[in-house]
Amino acid sequence: MRAAAADRERTLDVLKAAYGEGRLTKEEFDARSARAMAARTYGELTALVADLPAGPVGAPVPYPPPGGYYPVPQQPTNGLAGASLVCSVIGLLMPFLLIPGVVMGHVARDQIRASGQRGAGMALAGLVIGYLGAAFWALAIVIAAAHG
């Protein structure tokens, strides 16, 4: 594996520590430092510090992919948020599901604020559709009662 500048720096740190502890003479330190700076592979660097207590250097540090960073683990989506949205949408046809949809939407929003989970948009959509659906069905009942 090809060595990076950071790998060479870590190897130099090990060599400096060994020199400071008296494990290397000035000539050995200078020679190994020059070889570390000229090293092209990770194996060459490991060989320079293999006989020292702080060596070998260890596994190479992985670098982020080009153009980006390592993916950050995301919080899971709140289950009540999805249930709120589903109940509210189905509640447009079956009005008895609108109330559970609205209640679950409020509970989900509270849980999301407290835990940092994802799903705030679904919970809000469940609330909006639930309240609009309830208003529609209430208006439909009032109109039906007025004409009937």
> Is 88 found in the same domain as 42?
no
- Answer whether residue 125 is part of any domain: yes
> Is 44 found in the same domain as 94?
no
pLDDT of 136 higher than 80: yes
What is the average per-residue pLDDT within 82-104?
95
Q: For Cα atoms 52, 57, 59, give the angle at the middle one, nearest 5 degrees.
A: 150
- Answer whether residue 24 is part of any domain: yes
- Answer whether residue 56 is part of any domain: no
> Is 83 found in the same domain as 42?
no
- Answer whether residue 57 is part of any domain: no
- Answer whether residue 25 is part of any domain: yes
- Answer whether residue 92 is part of any domain: yes
> Is 93 found in the same domain as 139?
yes
Q: Which residue range(s) make up the domain with 33?
A: 5-49
Task: Read off the pLDDT band of 2 (50, 70, 90).
Answer: confident
Q: Report the pLDDT value the prediction gives residue 70, as an integer from 0 to 100.
A: 63
> Is 99 found in the same domain as 45?
no
Structural domains of the chain, count: 2
> Is 84 found in the same domain as 31?
no
- Answer whether residue 72 is part of any domain: no
> Is 87 found in the same domain as 43?
no
More confident residue, 68 or 90: 90
Q: What pLDDT, in 10s, does the model give residues 3-60?
A: 888 889 989 988 998 888 888 999 999 999 999 999 998 889 888 888 887 555 555 5
User: Could you tell me what percent of the chain has a pLDDT over 90?
Assistant: 56
Give the predicted TM-score (pTM) of the model. 0.53
- Answer whether residue 87 is part of any domain: yes
User: Could you tell me what percent of the chain has a pLDDT over 70?
Assistant: 87
Q: How far is CA 106 from the centre of its chain?
A: 26
Measured between alpha carbons, how far is 93 from 18 in angstroms, rounded to an integer? 77
User: How far is residue 67 from each of residues 3, 63, 64, 74, measured CA to CA in Å?
Assistant: 20, 11, 8, 20
